[in-house]
Amino acid sequence: GAGVSQSPSNKVTEKGKDVELRCDPISGHTALYWYRQSLGQGLEFLIYFQGNSAPDKSGLPSDRFSAERTGGSVSTLTIQRTQQEDSAVYLCASSLVLIGTEYGYTFGSGTRLTVV
């Protein structure tokens, strides 16, 4: 597609439930990133995929968070046993080349997650 697509755009879930957030990167983009934007906070790095390399998971806040990228394209971020502090906007971005940040990222519109 023309841009990075994220679904759903909004998700309300009950505390303790699992959620899956989806990201469709721009076709051909080899790198994919997940960030979290909490109210009044900056963007917090979560995880980064580059081609077939092992992902950089250094930003995942706990073992309740996991992500996968199938076929080098679509990515799913899973949060298990959600907590209220998980409420945030989850942003996905993709980039074209290995040194992706030279070109900046293309961001999706995000998924707003609310845990009640």
Residue 27 engages another protein in binding (rule: CB under 8 A):
no
Q: How far apart are CA 31 and CA 40, in angstroms?
A: 27
Asked whether the beta carbons of 62 and 81 are under 8 A apart, the reply is no
Kindly state whether residue 90 participates in binding another protein, applying the rule CB under 8 A.
Answer: no
CB atoms < 10 A from the CB of 56, how many? 14
The structure tokens 């080098």 sit at 72
109 binds another protein, rule: CB under 8 A: yes
Select the residue interacting with another protein from 88, 91, 113, 115 (CB under 8 A): 91
Interaction site with another protein (CB under 8 A): 31, 33, 35, 40-45, 48, 50, 56, 59, 91, 93, 98-102, 104-105, 107-110
